């Protein structure tokens, strides 16, 4: 499924399970069942201005803290 982790993240924020600013620990606790590497890298890998040219889904606001880019992408 395309954008699976992003969909899970958006759903968790909307349901109040994942609070913004999002941290790795908050992401891990609110979205169980993902691979450990996902928790360690997904927010950074998809932050605005990432060097890899990946989709920009999260805005870095402070060390280790992110917010969802608004409006939510991909019709989720």
- The alpha-carbon radius of gyration of the chain (Å, integer) is 11
Which SS3 state, helix, strand or coil, does residue 72 take? Answer: coil
Residue 20 is predicted with a pLDDT of: 97
Query: Residue ranges of the domains in the chain?
Result: 4-68
Q: Write down the pLDDT at residue 2.
A: 76
11-63 pLDDT, tens digit each: 999 999 999 999 999 999 999 999 999 999 999 999 999 999 999 999 999 99
More confident call, 27 vs 76 = 27
Say if strands 58-62 and 65-68 run parallel, antiparallel, or are unpaired: antiparallel
Single pTM value for the model: 0.92
The whole-number pLDDT of residue 1 equals 64
Question: If you count them, how many residues does the chain have?
Answer: 76
**First-last CA distance in the chain:** 13
- Three-state secondary-structure class, residue 73: coil
């Amino acid at each position: 499924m395309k954008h699976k982790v992003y969909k899970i993240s958006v759903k968790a924020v909307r349901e109040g399970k994942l609070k913004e600013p999002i941290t790795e620990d908050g992401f891990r606790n609110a979205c169980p069942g993902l691979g450990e590497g996902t928790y360690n890298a997904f927010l950074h890998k998809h932050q605005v201005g990432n060097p890899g040219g990946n989709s920009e889904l999260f805005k870095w606001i402070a060390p280790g803290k992110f917010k969802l880019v608004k409006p939510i992408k991909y019709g989720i």
